[in-house]
Chains A and B, each alone.
Chain A
Amino acid sequence: MKHSIRSWRAMALLPMSIALMTGTAHAQALGEPVPELQIAYYASDMGPMYEQSARVMSEEWAKLGLSFQLQPVQFSAFISNIMVGGGLEDMAVFTVGADPDRVDPTYWLYDLGACGARRNGAKWCDEEFTALATAQRSQVDQAQRLETVYAAQQRFYDQAPWWPATNTVYGILWNSDKWENVTSPAPVAAHEGLVDPWLSAVPKTDDRILDWAYLEDVTTYNPLAEEGAVGWLRFVYDTFAKNNAQGETVPWAAESWEFTDPQTVRIVLRDGMTFHDGKPVTAADAAFTINMVVEAQPPAMSSRIANLESAEVIDERTFEVKLKTSDAAFVTTVLTYLFILPEHLWADYEGDVTARDVIADGVAIGSGPFKFKTWRMNEVHELDTNTAHFNAPQYDGLRRLALGQADAIRSAMLSGAADIATTVLPVAAMSDLAVQEASLDFLEIPSHGSLLVWLNNEKAPFTDLAFREALRLATNKQRAAIEGWLGFAVPAGEGSVPTQLGMWHNSDLAPIPFDIDAARATLEAAGYGWDAQGRLHYPPN
């Protein structure tokens, strides 16, 4: 299905009147008309926000004398064909999620913007920018890295190959009659960070089990096999570090870490940790797990483990990780992701570790704040609190209800059968429910998830900097946030690195106000013109 926006016809009077006032447009020679541009966006199975955002932004862009064809694309086809397949025709309006590893600038600079990077679907290739984006990846000295990251953002800002329009706001809906101290995990969504509010929540009644209404089932309790289960398993299996709500990476199972050289990280484990079967967690377990991961190379983990070389035990609580190349994002993205498996339960396993059924084998055992209890497929997962954990929650257990669809989640929250719901309901719906129902409360989570406006940088008119700048000036972020996302998004800052990433965002980049007149003036100064119907034409020749 394709929708056409031919608002340039409807807007014909505006440029004509401007032309009459300025006495410029019709007097000058015109080149070829700028053809209709295609805007790809996530189809409605991902929610109505994408079409709404594409529609409201294209309405504003049409005021430059452009016409658009809106084309919904199913999510997986978008990723395969456009994001990594190089099939972007003209423009795309879509979001990238607030994944925990995206609190590091590498994703926003290198992965989405460097020449030849796999997810650089906007096909921009700028050698100066790529050199900066590549350099920051290996600068383990934070001050030096910050300088490079800022310079890369400045170059990106000056070249405007694409830009963010909004940052997504997630939400938590919870039963405030039964629970308190439900804290925000911002900037990551609640189902990603797994610290807030899960470990902070406090029961107000005798019901000391936190019931989480969620959409779908967990795929596995084997962290080497996880694909759709990313997140939930980190309740059972501790990671070495966590990213907190302030955007900092803080110690978790690791007490401390340091780069002894650019390719070696020395990690000291927290003292006194035990697995759920009572055995102590040692550096040998950690090194064993990392070496097993390196050997097995689970495909789903590939983006995070590609740079791991090996691990070596130093003493009871200390081990070293060898990296293939220097990696500044190692702490933020890998230490917060890797887990510790008990060597005594895995060392003798002779089958394919990535296919091991840990439930059947009775080895769903980690050292995390919760212990595996039961799993009824497609229904419910039950975890008991690990009271021996260094950050044990103040309640007895957690249940994840796999309810399959939003209405059931709504019903569960209203009936009190569930205590908390996260991103599975539209944020506006969660907010409305909290207003309607006194027992429910709502928490907004401003995130670094971003709605991006992508351009095909290899194709005219997007190869022209002036055209890109004009389009950026005519991007109405406010309308996209209010009308596209019903208020549950905020206008994004400048540059590719979201403002929610704190220190990593270059706040020296001057805000670019939405200004149609300035956009038209930019085009005019670059030689573009408009015909009698108000349609934009390329400069002559």
Chain B
Amino acid sequence: MRAYILRRLAQAVVVVWAVTTIMFVMFRVMPADPTAVLMERGMTDAARETLIAQWGLSGSLWDQYLRYMGNLLRGDFGSSFFYRKPVWEVLWPLIGNTLWIAVPGLLLGAFAGAALGMLVGWSKRGGKIERGGIFLATIIRGAPSFVIGIALLTVFSSTLGWFPGFGMGDPGPTQGFARYLTLDFLHHLALPLIAVIIYFLPENLLLMRSGVVENRTEDYIELVRAKGVPSSRVAWHAARNSLLPLITWLFPALAETIAGIVVIEIVFSWPGVGRELVLAVTRQDYPLAQAAFFLLAVMIVLANLAADLTYGKLDPRVVYK
């Protein structure tokens, strides 16, 4: 087990290094220049050289790479070109904002998806509930997340006016953690959270349904049924044994959800990592964009590792070599 974990960690380091390197090269070979706006405004050549040196963009690509990796190993992601601040000072509060919609959205989406999946899987094969459930899940799964977001905005914000359409709170003096404990925050949180739940629900529904459909014909279900246990209890037995793939999927789904949340954050103007990532790419703010991608890569790699390890704990048939 220990050898397996060490081997997987070594693989994870290689994957993260590869992603980091690819990102570094991509941002350097892009036909874009972070000083372009200033040059258009007439920045002198000398000033441009100074700025390029300040931003760590001077020297050959190889020199820049070595400098970047050296700094990275020391935990220094550089300073944002746009904010003129260390990258982590910019990203840190945004990570919290993203988690506010990602984690509850993921858990509620999983819970609702599992419950609906159980209902659909236990319903009559080929019946209205099964057909309707699969149809709905497929439609939602196929819809891009921005469509879900815009539909919610159109109905509940623009038309009915029940929820605010943007931001994380009304302008006001509340700062720090206290702002997360206000009704105003919850009011703003509602629509993006619902969008994440809807975005995340179909995978869970379909996974759970497949498991229940598979389990409902197993011998142990027949045995439970033969004992005269009520149908709802029998369904619960089948559902419990169908949870395994769903639980193990939660970890990579967290990373996937955070990546998918980029669009939802943009649609709802939610000040999270995803929105900042897009803005950073648009502004050619390399350090910020690279750090955000690095963060996503690490999360995805660790989530996959956690999923593999959890699977072994939950299913004794899995042996680590």
Contact = CB atoms under 8 A, between A and B. Distances in A.
Interface of A: 45, 74-81, 83-84, 96, 99, 107, 111, 118-119, 209, 211, 216, 219-220, 222, 225, 227-228, 297, 299-300, 302-303, 306, 355, 357, 374, 376-380, 382, 399, 401-405, 407-408, 411-412, 414-415, 417
A379 B167 contact: yes
Interface string B40-59: 11111111101100100000
A379 B43 contact: no
Interface string B135-171: 0000000000000001001000110010011111111
Nearest to A382: B171
A355 B50 CA distance: 14
Contact of A302 (B46, B82, B171): B46
A443 B281 CA distance: 33
B94 interface: yes
Contact of B157 (A303, A404, A411): A411
B32 interface: yes
Contacts of A119: 40, 42
Contacts of A227: 37-38, 81-82, 84
Given A219-B82, A404-B269, A412 B166 contact: yes
Contacts of B175: 374, 376
Contacts of B93: 377
Contact of A99 (B35, B41, B82, B85): B41
Contacts of A107: 42
A417 B188 CA distance: 13
Contacts of B164: 415, 417
B23 interface: no
A378 B166 contact: no
Interface stretch (B4-12, B271-279, B290-298): B271-279
Contact of A403 (B32, B153, B167): B167
B47 A407 contact: no
Contacts of B33: 76-77, 79-80
A292 to B, nearest CB: 16
Given A118-B44, A303-B42, A411-B158, 6 more contacts: A228-B82, A377-B90, A379-B167, A401-B171, A411-B157, A417-B164
A415 B157 contact: yes
Given A77-B32, A403-B269, A411-B158, A379 B85 contact: no
Contacts of A399: 171
B43 A300 contact: yes
Contacts of B168: 379
B43 A302 contact: yes
A220 B83 CA distance: 6
A407 B279 contact: no
B301 interface: no
Contacts of B51: 299-300
B94 A408 contact: no
Nearest to A333: B42
Contacts of A417: 164-166, 170
B278 to A, nearest CB: 8
Contacts of B170: 417
B36 A415 contact: no
Nearest to A397: B171
Contacts of A84: 39
Nearest to B167: A379
A405 B44 contact: no
Given A227-B38, A377-B271, A118 B166 contact: no
B228 interface: no
Residue of B47, B164, B269, B275 with most chain A CB atoms under a 10 A cut-off? B269
A379 B31 contact: no
B84 A303 contact: no
B279 A80 contact: no
Q: Which 9 A-B pairs have the closest CB atoms?
A: A303-B42, A302-B47, A76-B36, A411-B165, A299-B47, A378-B271, A408-B166, A79-B36, A80-B33
A412 to B, nearest CB: 6
Nearest to A213: B166
B150 A407 contact: yes
A118 B42 CA distance: 8
Interface string B246-259: 00000000000000
A83 B42 CA distance: 11
Interface in B55-96: 81-85, 90, 93-94
A357 B85 contact: yes
Contact of B44 (A222, A302, A377): A302
Given A303-B43, A303-B44, A403-B269, A380 B90 contact: no
B119 interface: no
Contact of B40 (A79, A302, A379, A404): A79
B316 interface: no
B245 interface: no
A405 B267 CA distance: 8
B266 interface: yes
Contacts of A222: 84
